[in-house]
Structure 1
Amino acid sequence: MNGIKKHRGLKRYYRNLATENDLDKTTWLDFNKPDNWFDNCHLHFDWKGYGNNSFKRRKPHLDKLFRHFDLLADKTNKLKIEFQLYSILLDFNSYSDALFLHTPNPNNSQFPFKISDLQLTTTLTNKQLNDYINNLDGYEKLYGQANEAFCLIFKKNLGQPF
């Protein structure tokens, strides 16, 4: 063999991405407890980093992330406290793309959460990711630069703004 690892079951894996609801699998997302809080709790959707090498492989993970954004937005109606719901997408690191829920919490984490030096103009160099983000309807986008360029995405009039 030439050392290339064959990934079995990828067709099923990508088919399941389009239908699975990860919110049903998490124990920390309980909206029925009135005293529940969230300290930048987050979900990742590309645990193996498949999308790092190919946007064709990243897109289904992003589609799942934004489907979950809408599912989670519906669930926040049950929250009796202020919250922030947002996503951060990194330029080329699909593994780190995540969906966040944040509320005031006993850990003294900053609420509302703020990131300095955000701008309206893209910092991304990944053209395919930039095009994907530009085609999202109903989302606000702010861009920044840390170790890698990133985009922070949220919905206007949903929780605390950035």
Structure 2
Amino acid sequence: MKKFRGKKRYFRNIWQESTVEQYDLDFGKEGWFDFWHIHLDFYGYGNNSLKIRREHIKAHIALYNDLLEKLQTYEKTYQSWIELVEEDAGLDAVCIHTSTPNEDSFPFKIDSINWECKVPIKFKDLINLNEFNVGHYKWESNNSYIIQSQNKGIKL
């Protein structure tokens, strides 16, 4: 494996990307989100190092908190969450979903989520369990963890 060079600059850019202002999101009356999501670790660098993975998770949580703040002005009902895929950091994402004019799959439900799951030790200390619910489900061969606000938006 090649050495990861330029980490300082890379993470400075990731933290700049972890604000809602970086994305052209429409929170007005006409705006809607059809499973909009962003992968901050698109290339999966977190697969190579727990330290790098944890830094990406922190950035995902910061983006999610910023998104929740912006969604307070949004007049429609919505769902928002962070999805962490244990086997592939490149699939980790922050997501928003609302009803859409295209197809009405809102509210989105994942029936197999276990909201009473044990949170993995590698990222348990990064999540405020008084503020967020954490759930687990299996999708194909992946173990996915959902982090969702306890009191904002509609639960998955």
Q: Could you say which TM-score interval applies, normalised by the shorter chain?
A: 0.7 to 0.9
CA gap 1:127/1:120 in 2 versus in 1, 3 angstroms? same
Identify which of 9, 26, 33 aligns with 1:30: 26
CA gap 1:20/1:106 in 2 versus in 1, 3 angstroms? closer
Return the alpha-carbon distance in structure 2 between the equivalents of residues 21 and 90 of structure 1. 19
Q: Do structure 1's residue 73 and structure 2's residue 68 form an aligned pair?
A: yes
Q: Which residue of 1 aligns with 2:151?
A: 157
**Fraction of identical pairs, as percent:** 31
Runs of 4+ aligned residues of structure 1 deviating over 6 Å after TM superposition are none
Q: Do structure 1's residue 111 and structure 2's residue 106 form an aligned pair?
A: yes
- Select between 100-109 and 115-124 the one with higher mean Cα deviation: 115-124
Q: RMSD of the TM alignment (CA)? A: 2.2
Return the alpha-carbon distance in structure 2 between the equivalents of residues 88 and 117 of structure 1. 14
Tell me how far 1:9 sits from its aligned partner: 1.8
One-letter amino acid matched to 2:148: F
3-state SS in 2 of match to 1:78: coil
Identify which of 110, 121, 131 aligns with 1:138: 131
Tell me how far 1:127 sits from its aligned partner: 4.5
- Select between 67-76 and 101-110 the one with higher mean Cα deviation: 101-110
**5+ residue gaps, structure 2:** none
Q: Is the 8 A contact 2:18 2:63 kept in 1?
A: yes
Q: Is the 8 A contact 1:123 1:145 kept in 2?
A: no
Return the alpha-carbon distance in structure 1 between the equivalents of residues 34 and 15 of structure 2. 28
3-state SS in 2 of match to 1:35: coil
Count of aligned positions: 155
Q: Which has the larger radius of gyration?
A: 1
Tell me how far 1:71 sits from its aligned partner: 0.4
TM-score, length-scaled by structure 2 = 0.87
**5+ residue gaps, structure 1:** none
Q: Do structure 1's residue 10 and structure 2's residue 7 form an aligned pair?
A: yes
CA gap 1:52/1:78 in 2 versus in 1, 3 angstroms? same
TM-score, length-scaled by structure 1 = 0.84
Return the alpha-carbon distance in structure 1 between the equivalents of residues 17 and 118 of structure 2. 32
Return the alpha-carbon distance in structure 1 between the equivalents of residues 102 and 6 of structure 2. 41
